Structure 1
């Protein structure tokens, strides 16, 4: 798996190949639980999830934007926030987005975020909203 040090944080990169190492890394996260567990990362598909995760302060590694997202004001604002937090912004075509998500009709935004876990004993049910 590629590490955060192998790319410039806060940069924008165009990717058109399914064989790109970053694409392979994200595909591995989607395909196998062991990759998510080892890396401490997970993949979230869709603009709503991407914006919600950013608003909640989740650490973001990558934000992949399909062609439609690059013309969407909310998606561009999410990309700016993610970039400001050090994420690598990936401009991808629909074919690469479909390869990442393994779907024929993928969402326009796919994010890779840092997992946040806590022990069950640390959860206070009275503080839940």
Structure 2
């Protein structure tokens, strides 16, 4: 079912796909990489067929791979058989996945993120770590959140590390981007509660009232919420620390808050 086979590491298509590890190339092309057949199928099932589908010599025997190839070709994408060495080069991993897809990035306008049936929306201010961001997107998907909003200068949700961490949820959760002032203006029309986390807060996250839909606003890994962002919240809460650690990883803390807000 493959339209062609590539065996050269110097092939222009291989170089172009590999270049998507760089944010500059992703920004210029509007494309990104998703590794693994599960992620590719998630993209297809949510209406995002690959633009290019690379697969190893033995992958086509898998029935889901045949589904992926058919969907790619039906959407006028390209299906290419490549060697293990090319997959390793594209993935930058010694043990690469047997399937790699190139997809079009998708963002939703902030104005399209509106209170609806979802019980929670997540906003992240200047998140820096793509692994954390990807894990938060996956958690938001699992909890049925309506969107993840990236506020200010954030890391790229389409970085390979972030996409890996989403485990396919990159295709399921609407992503929006906004500057701080744009977000503040949009937040003024939010009809539910807006809740943030602060180490200095006096309200336990389990004792707070979360009017649905809740907007959970989280700060970045190093500084948390700055005063101007905390001021946008109806209530700021703390997650108690009972051991020697004085804080949680951002993705863990966000997961705690998502499930507190959606209970």
Counterpart of 2:87 (choices 94, 97, 117) is: 97
Counterpart of 1:72 (choices 62, 68, 83) is: 62
CA-atom RMSD in angstroms:
1.7
Match of 2:199 in 1: none
Runs of 5+ unmatched residues, structure 2: 119-143, 145-263
Report if aligned partners of 1:47, 1:109 keep a CA contact under 8 Å in 2.
yes
Runs of 5+ unmatched residues, structure 1: 1-9
Report if aligned partners of 1:11, 1:87 keep a CA contact under 8 Å in 2.
no
3-state DSSP of counterpart to 2:51: strand
- Structure 1 residue 59, shift from structure 2 partner: 4.4
Distance in 1 (alpha carbons) for counterparts of 2:54 and 2:2:
12
After superposition, the Cα gap between the structure-2 partners of 1:95 and 1:11, relative to the gap in structure 1 and judged at 3 Å, is closer
Counterpart of 1:118 (choices 105, 108, 120) is: 108
Report if aligned partners of 1:66, 1:109 keep a CA contact under 8 Å in 2.
yes
How many positions carry a matched residue from both structures?
119
Whose Rg is larger?
A: 2
Match of 1:12 in 2: 3
Moved beyond 6 Å, runs of 4+: none
Report if aligned partners of 2:51, 2:76 keep a CA contact under 8 Å in 1.
yes
Distance in 2 (alpha carbons) for counterparts of 1:56 and 1:84:
15
Match of 1:48 in 2: 38
Report if aligned partners of 1:11, 1:83 keep a CA contact under 8 Å in 2.
no
More helix by share: 1
- Of structures 1 and 2, the one scoring higher in RCO (CA 8 A, sep 6+) is 1
3-state DSSP of counterpart to 1:111: strand
Give the TM-score taking structure 1 as reference length.
0.85
Report if aligned partners of 2:56, 2:83 keep a CA contact under 8 Å in 1.
yes
Give the TM-score taking structure 2 as reference length.
0.43
